[in-house]
């Protein structure tokens, strides 16, 4: 089964890699009838032709063009880089040119995902997208400003750390005088079999309960293919957590360590049942378990797409690079407010950096990323 196909949901979506347009994933919005689905890939192919007029999906809505590195499979390495407007106060036109230069010559084997932070709109005097706001400070935050924030955020994903590094260095030199580097952070995924959920540094499968490809139009992409990115650099006290007896670790997370199944269930993808109780009347998933407090049921079913990586910066500093994409960062704020005040995992984690950005829709054929900054 090709990636992005065959996932049933209320609103099926097809996503097609667009080979003539590097870095672009074409999302064909769901047509109402099954017959129309068969037409959609042809429409997507036409959308890639540089000279083609951007066609509509067969239900009359425009095709959304989304950046790579969000719904595409996660390779082993990530490099995050943040930039600020240069002190020379560049114009909007100069920033647009820099973004377009990034986009026009993509690095092979590395996906580039670009997001605009709230400061970019403030600095250029542009009106920010309505849902792009600085994240509030949460209880227990210990944020290092030098490792977070940024007017432009970049996520580079690839199999090879050196290739990601070279790509970031090229971006920096192409934007010289317009965007100044602010911070960089690298991360990795432990080796895992294709199709299996990778494990985080606590040894638990991480990413199980993510929306399926067919649900992304509902929870991740806005109508034009834009979305929002939330980043948190979360320190994990790995030794203290992994020294706990495994049943205790499982109570903290709310899932079994070996299988990834929710407590009280057997298989990894069994549904999380927040109401299930033991014969003695105790909830299978404790009141302060991570998956209970993070569960979408507490947000009326609204979902975020997590794309986390681990980091290890030595000297006891290791943890999770929490990267999540969603239609509205207010959802992250609601989840994190619950976690920050009630999560049993808080004894073992500390949020040390934070950033938020508006992920521009990918440009239409013949267009350039800079044109998407309005």
Q: Which is nearer to ligand HEM, 180 or 237 (CB)?
A: 237
Pick the closer one to ligand HEM by CB: 147 or 255. 255
The reply to whether 151 belongs to the active site is no
- How wide is the angle at C-alpha 52 spanned by C-alphas 49 and 55, nearest 5°? 105
Give the nearer residue to ligand HEM in terms of CB position, either 205 or 327: 205
Instruction: Pick between residue 50 and residue 271 the one whose CB is nearest to ligand HEM.
Output: 271
342 lies in the binding site for ligand HEM (CB under 6 A): no
Residue 17 near residue 66 (C-beta atoms within 8 A):
no
Is 290 a binder of ligand HEM (CB under 6 A)?
yes
207 lines the binding site for ligand HEM (CB under 6 A): yes
Minimum separation from the CB atom of position 204 to ligand HEM (A): 4
DSSP readout, 261-318? PBTT-SSTTSPP-TT-B-TTS-BSS-TT-HHHHT-GGGGTT---EE--EEEE-STT-E
Distance of CA 65 to the CA centre of its chain: 16
The one catalytic residue in 84, 151, 206, 343 is 206
Beta carbons within 10 angstroms of residue 269's beta carbon: 11
CA torsion 94-99-104-107 (nearest 10°) is 130
Binding mask 302-341 for ligand HEM (x = CB under 6 A): --x--------------xx-x---------x--xx--x--
Subset of 224-263 contacting ligand HEM (CB under 6 A):
232, 234, 236, 253, 255
Of the candidates 265, 338, 324, 267, the one whose C-alpha atom is nearest the C-alpha of residue 115 is 324
In angstroms, give the least distance from the CB of 69 to ligand HEM. Answer: 19
Q: Choose, by CB under 6 A, the member of 296, 318, 346, 368 that binds ligand HEM.
A: 296
Closer residue to ligand HEM, CB minimum distance, 86 or 324: 324
Q: HSE (CB half, 13 Å, CA atoms) of 149? A: 13
Decide: helix, strand or coil at residue 321.
strand
40 contacts ligand HEM (rule: CB under 6 A): no
- Residue that the structure tokens 């638990």 belong to: 204
Q: How far is the CB of 180 from ligand HEM (least distance, A)?
A: 29
Distance of CA 303 to the CA centre of its chain: 12
Residues that bind ligand HEM (CB under 6 A): 200, 202, 204-209, 232, 234, 236, 253, 255, 272, 290-291, 294-296, 304, 319-320, 322, 332, 335-336, 339, 349
Just list the catalytic residues.
Answer: 206
């Amino acid at each position: 089964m090709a990636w992005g196909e065959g996932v049933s949901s209320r609103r099926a979506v097809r996503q097609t890699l667009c080979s003539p347009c590097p870095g672009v994933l074409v999302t064909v919005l769901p047509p109402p009838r099954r017959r129309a689905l068969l037409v959609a890939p042809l429409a997507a192919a036409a959308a890639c032709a540089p000279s083609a007029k951007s066609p509509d999906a067969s239900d009359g809505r425009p095709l959304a063009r989304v950046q790579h590195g969000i719904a595409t499979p996660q390779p082993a390495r990530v490099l995050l880089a943040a930039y600020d407007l240069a002190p020379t106060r560049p114009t909007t036109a100069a920033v647009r040119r820099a973004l377009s230069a990034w986009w026009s010559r993509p690095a092979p084997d590395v996906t580039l995902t670009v997001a605009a932070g709230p400061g970019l709109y403030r600095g250029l005097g542009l009106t920010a997208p309505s849902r792009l706001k600085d994240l509030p400070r949460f209880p227990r935050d210990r944020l290092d400003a030098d490792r977070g924030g940024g007017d432009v955020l970049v996520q580079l994903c690839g199999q090879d750390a050196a290739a990601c590094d070279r790509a970031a260095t090229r971006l920096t030199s192409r934007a010289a005088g317009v965007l100044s580097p602010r911070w960089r952070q690298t991360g990795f995924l432990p080796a895992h079999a294709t199709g299996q959920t990778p494990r985080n540094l606590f040894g638990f499968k991480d990413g199980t309960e993510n929306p399926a490809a067919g649900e992304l139009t509902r929870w991740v992409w806005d109508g034009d293919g834009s979305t929002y990115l939330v980043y948190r650099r979360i320190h994990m006290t790995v030794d203290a957590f992994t020294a706990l007896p495994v049943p205790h670790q499982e109570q903290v997370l709310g899932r079994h360590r070996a299988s990834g199944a929710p407590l009280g269930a057997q298989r990894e993808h069994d549904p999380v049942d927040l109401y299930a109780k033991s014969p003695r009347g105790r909830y299978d998933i404790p009141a302060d378990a991570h998956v209970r407090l993070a569960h979408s049921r507490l947000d009326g079913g609204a979902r975020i797409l997590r794309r986390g990586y681990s980091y290890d910066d030595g000297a006891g500093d290791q943890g999770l690079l929490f990267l999540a994409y969603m239609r509205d960062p207010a959802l992250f704020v609601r989840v994190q407010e619950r976690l920050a005040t009630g999560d049993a995992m808080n004894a073992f984690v500390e949020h040390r950096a934070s950033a938020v950005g508006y992920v521009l829709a990918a440009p239409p054929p013949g267009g350039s990323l800079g044109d998407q900054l309005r």
